[in-house]
């Protein structure tokens, strides 16, 4: 069974913030939320991850709800180059497996 659910696709205007939601209602206490993106036919690119607290880096912000059952990835000023499939992933710290969602195809429009 999928551990994460994401919308199939989303649009966002260039220059606006892109907010990508993810539900992970069965997440366990030692499981992290990871986000990767994949631009057409390239390898997945790591974006950000978190456990409980909100996180920010040079690419994005990750907001995790207090009950940890959902999260939102925020790209603050989307550009055309941010068009990609964004994967929300759950990963335990006790094994090597990434549990992938089906991904959200984000299209940034001029």
CB closer to other proteins, 48 vs 108: 48
Candidate list 18, 22, 23, 34; residue touching other proteins; CB under 8 A:
34
Applying CB under 8 A, which part among 11-19, 32-40, 63-71, 73-81 lies near other proteins? 32-40
Candidate list 5, 10, 14, 49; residue touching other proteins; CB under 8 A:
49
Helix or strand holding residue 41 (H, E): none
Residue 48 to residues 1, 77, 86, 91, 110, Cα–Cα distance (Å): 24, 16, 11, 13, 25
- DSSP notation for 57-74: -SS-EEEE-TTSSEEEEE
Could you give the 3-state DSSP secondary structure of residue 39?
coil
Candidate list 45, 54, 57, 79; residue touching other proteins; CB under 8 A:
45
The footprint of other proteins (CB under 8 A) covers 32, 34, 36, 41-46, 49, 51, 87, 91, 93-98, 100-103
């Amino acid at each position: 069974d999928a551990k994460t659910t994401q919308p199939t696709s989303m649009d966002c205007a260039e220059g606006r913030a892109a907010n990508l939601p993810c539900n992970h209602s069965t997440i366990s206490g030692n499981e992290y939320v990871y986000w990767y993106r994949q631009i057409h036919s390239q390898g997945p690119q790591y974006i950000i991850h978190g456990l409980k607290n909100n996180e920010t880096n040079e690419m994005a912000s990750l907001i995790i709800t207090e009950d940890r059952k959902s999260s939102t990835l925020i790209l603050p000023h989307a550009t055309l180059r941010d068009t990609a499939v964004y994967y929300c992933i759950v990963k335990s710290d006790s094994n090597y497996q990434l549990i992938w969602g089906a991904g959200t195809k984000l299209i940034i429009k001029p």
